Chain A
Amino acid sequence: MDPTAQQIDGLKELINIGVGRAASVLNAMLSSHIVLQVPFIKLLQPEDFKKEIEILGQESLAAVHLGFQGIFSGSTQLIFTMETASKLVTILVGETDETDDLDSIQTGTLTEIGNIVLNGVMGSISNMLGFHFNYSVPNYLEGSAENLLKANLIVADRTILLARTRFVVEKLDIYGDIALFFEMTVFNKLLEAIDVLGNE
Chain B
Amino acid sequence: MSIYRIAEEKFGILDYTPVGICVTTSEHIVLFWNRYLADWTGISKSDIVGKKLELHFPNLSEPRYLERLETIFNGGPPAIFSSQLHKYIFSAKLPNGEMQIQHTTVTGIPYGDGEHCYALWAVEDVTELARRIQKFKHMRDRVVEEMKRSKQMEEELLKAKKLESIGILAGGIAHDFNNLLSIIMGNIHLAMDEDGLGDDISEALAEAEKASVRAANLTKQLITFSKGGEPITKSCHIPSLLTEMTKVAVAGSNVEYNFFLQDDLWPVDIDKGQIEHVIRNIVMNAVQSMSEGGIVEVRAENFLVSSEKNSNVLSIDDGEYVKIAIHDHGSGIPKQNIERIFDPYFSTRERGIQKGMGLGLTISYSIIKKHGGTIAVKSKTGAGTSVYIYLRTGGKISQLKTAIY
Contact = CB atoms under 8 A, between A and B. Distances in A.
A93 interface: yes
Interface size class on chain B is 20 to 34
Contacts of B136: 103
Interface in B270-300: none
Interface string A109-152: 10110011011001100000000111101100000000000000
Residue from A25, A66, A68 whose CB has the most chain B CB atoms within 10 Å: A25
Contacts of B110: 134
B75 interface: yes
Given A97-B137, A105-B130, A112-B85, A138 B68 contact: no
B133 A93 contact: no
A89 B82 CA distance: 12
Contact of B80 (A105, A112, A123, A132): A112
Contacts of A93: 84-85
A103 B86 CA distance: 17
B319 interface: no
A28 B62 CA distance: 10
A66 B107 CA distance: 13
B105 A135 contact: no
Contacts of A104: 126, 129, 133
B79 A119 contact: yes
B64 A28 contact: yes
B27 to A, nearest CB: 21
Residue from B80, B81, B129 whose CB has the most chain A CB atoms within 10 Å: B80
A137 B63 contact: no
Contacts, number: 76
A171 to B, nearest CB: 19
B262 to A, nearest CB: 30
Contact of A109 (B64, B76, B84, B133): B84
Contact of B105 (A106, A119, A134, A137): A137
A74 interface: no
A28 B126 contact: no
B9 interface: no
A155 interface: no
A20 interface: no
Interface in A137-193: 137-138
Contacts of A66: 77
A122 B77 contact: yes
Given A103-B137, A112-B82, A133-B75, 16 more contacts: A29-B85, A66-B77, A105-B82, A105-B84, A105-B130, A108-B82, A112-B85, A115-B79, A116-B68, A118-B77, A119-B68, A123-B76, A132-B75, A135-B77, A135-B78, A137-B107
